A and B are shown apart, each in its own frame.
Chain A
Amino acid sequence: MKTFRIGGVHPAENKLSAGKPIVTAELPKVAVFPLSQHIGAPAVACVAKGDEVKVGTKIADAGGFVSAPIFSSVSGKVAKIDTVIDASGYRKPAIFINVVGDEWEESIDRSDTLVKDCDLEPKAIVEKIKNAGVVGMGGACFPTHVKLTPPPTAKPECVIVNAVECEPYLTADHQLMLEHPDEILVGVTLVMKAVNVNKGYIGIENNKPDAIKLMTEKAAQYPNIEIVPLKVKYPQGGEKQLIDAVIGRQVPAPPALPVSVGAILQNVGTMYAIYQAVQKNKPLFERVVTVTGKSLANPTNFLARMGTPMSQLIDACGGLPEDTGKVIGGGPMMGKALMNTEVPICKGSSGVLIMNQKEAKRAEAEPCIRCAKCVSACPMGLEPYLLANCSSMADWERDEKEDITSCIECGSCQFTCPSHRPLLDMIRLGKSTVMGIIRARNAKK
């Protein structure tokens, strides 16, 4: 069975909410929409205090090409435009909407009927995706229309859909595949049409046999889409790892993009969002979120509107357990510990993980014993111990020379370190500093 070549680790899967049907979450009383929910320029608010909005009304315009508009997920009145502590732990500008009723924009097709055919031009499809505010739903939130507009020199050959969900605990994508396989497959055909390729792959890890079976059956009705079962290994969901696993090609170091080896990558959640945006005129304002944790009474997969505070979803799962150590936005490997539970659900919120105190506690760091486990675990073939050391000594030149910018921040090195060294903490610091230095250097040129 296929998998990627270099490195990787096997964290405990802990898919507590696997097989649990998607539950529609209740509407929040106040929905909060941070203006920077994606990579790139923050969106610019286009509503003012007191404006009436419906579900699906655009409330913020894209702030540039690499940016995405934001749509209201609720109907009601704009209460204020203020700041809110978002998942980054810092105050960021956000739009607050007081929820009244649930009135949708009339242009949105709310029926469940499957619309397979699409006679739009490729450009029109990309435009529709752009105008619906669709971004990568795996967590990185890269605006989708940018990925679907490859540079003219690049020749896309295939579309690879990431249905790996290699993060432990999370089951949102898995459940989405079980409940909406046709919509996802139509989404794939739309993307294939948009970038003018005639091959699509959907990579699924073999810890989801039911999804592999269902998707393979359904895919038979769609030409040129192949389901690729993959051996379980973290971080298979990284785009470079997935390309290697599915088509056996390796993406060169940055600034090369996946498209330089002919692959366009999209998350399976994004496929569903694309289907809804193109075929149903429904902009991106809700998503599937896994709320899970060992101490949580009832881990659930929610279909939640953006702007819903995480605390509301946690309460719907039985409330915050007493022995909570950390609340994490995303999965345990790449997610981020949150400052508080009032952080709203955003486009990239794939999960909320409640870790109990025992799990959350970080063991004390001990001296490096030169075992090189981090080196064998690194899926990018880097030397994490060296990068971390250079970062702690502020030797940014060496960091750059050792390709720190190739790091995908998957955390395999830190996970595998027997001395519990804060490798990723230091590498992230080094990576962001080196990226800053490179940007400053390029700006000078």
Chain B
Amino acid sequence: MNLILVAVIALGAIGLIAAVVLYVASKKFAVFEDPRIAQVASVLPQANCGGCGFPGCSGFAGACVKAADAGSLEGKLCPVGGAPVMEKVAAILGLEAVASEPMLAVVRCNGSCENRPRVVQYDGAISCRVAHSTSGGETLCSYGCLGCGDCVKACKFDAIRMNPETGLPEVDAEKCTACGACAKACPRSIIEIRPKGRIVKGEARRIWVGCVNKDKGAIAGKACAVSCIACGKCQKVCKKDAITIENNLAYIDPTKCIACGLCFNECPKHVIHASFSVPAPKPKVVKPVETTVASVDASQKSVAKEVPTVEKQQQQQ
């Protein structure tokens, strides 16, 4: 009986002392966490994708609170939640939401099995990064899509899929949150995060160059029927000075482009893609240009003319 009493008292005393120590420690060493961080984190999507550039949603919430203390939320954007989430975040922090343009991942290669003939067969590990470091790829274009699907594996939103017919990835504009994981995963920087574009009649209008080949025109033309040969026609026709040609490759600056479609109609190699059906040019007929295509055989040429962009095809259906 006595023994039990001693044990109860001893344990009770130990418990009491420990409680006092813990109480003092919790008061003395308490770390103050801004309650707003938890509040902000609660409205974030909790995808922890890292698309915002911070380690997970709680990291982003901390950064937002810090930025709010500095006075502005500028530059902070949750690509997954977009404007609605940022409005909620701004409301919690008592600030105005900074308007941001919705973005989207864009695949800048159209070297499908038809357009870009396979000359060798790759049988290494199924990984774009491995394929990229081992060889130029299965085709003669050493800049284009390798087709092993690293971008698909990187996407946390199921927004990018390989099309087995073309062997190219396709972005689902509805699901894509522009987190940029695919762009980072692509060893050839084919995927670019671009603005969704100006909304006209309910559809977002954007235009981009669907090629990243920096080889000279003759070499690029041999490798792929829909490669940019840097002829410069698009640059000449552009009224907004949005197109630059560098290293044998045209690039459309999305901040300057108004998606008028002039370059789309001008491009002899159908490299320029549009997210909408571009109206055909007025009477002045554009002659198909024969420069540097000499080495591409007739069948390829016909393919080049027939293949519009993937998205355009979908719209026509």
Contacts and interface: CB of A to CB of B under 8 A. Distances in A.
Interface of A: 83, 85, 88-91, 336-337, 339-340, 361-362, 365, 392, 422, 425-426, 428-429, 432
Contacts of B135: 88-90, 336-337, 339
Nearest to A360: B123
A392 B219 contact: no
Contacts of A337: 134-135
Most B CB atoms within 10 A — which of A339, A392, A428?
A: A339
Q: Is the interface of B mostly helix, strand, loop or mixed?
A: loop
B120 A339 contact: yes
A429 B120 contact: no
User: What are the 6 closest A-B residue pairs judged by CB atoms, nearest first?
Assistant: A89-B135, A422-B125, A89-B136, A425-B125, A425-B130, A362-B123
Interface in B108-128: 119-120, 123-125, 127
B142 A428 contact: no
B127 A89 contact: no
Given A89-B136, A339-B136, A426 B219 contact: no
B152 to A, nearest CB: 15
A429 B123 contact: no
Contacts of A340: 119-120
A425 B124 contact: yes
A85 B136 contact: yes
A155 to B, nearest CB: 37
A339 B127 CA distance: 18
B123 A425 contact: no
Contacts of B137: 89
Contact of A429 (B119, B130, B215, B219): B130
Contacts, number: 52
Given A89-B134, A425-B130, A428-B133, A83 B219 contact: yes
Contacts of B136: 85, 88-91, 339
B161 interface: no
Given A422-B124, A425-B125, A426-B125, A339 B119 contact: yes
Given A91-B142, A339-B136, A361-B123, 14 more contacts: A85-B136, A88-B135, A89-B135, A89-B142, A90-B142, A339-B119, A340-B120, A362-B124, A425-B125, A425-B134, A426-B125, A428-B134, A429-B127, A429-B133
A365 B124 CA distance: 10
A213 to B, nearest CB: 41
Given A91-B215, A339-B120, A426 B130 contact: yes
A431 to B, nearest CB: 10
Contacts of B133: 428-429, 432
Interface string B236-258: 00000000000000000000000
A417 B261 CA distance: 55
A293 B149 CA distance: 34
B129 interface: yes
Contacts of B142: 85, 89-91
Contacts of B127: 392, 425-426, 429
Contacts of B130: 422, 425-426, 428-429
B209 to A, nearest CB: 20
A88 B133 CA distance: 9
Given A85-B136, A425-B134, A91 B124 contact: no
A340 B222 CA distance: 15
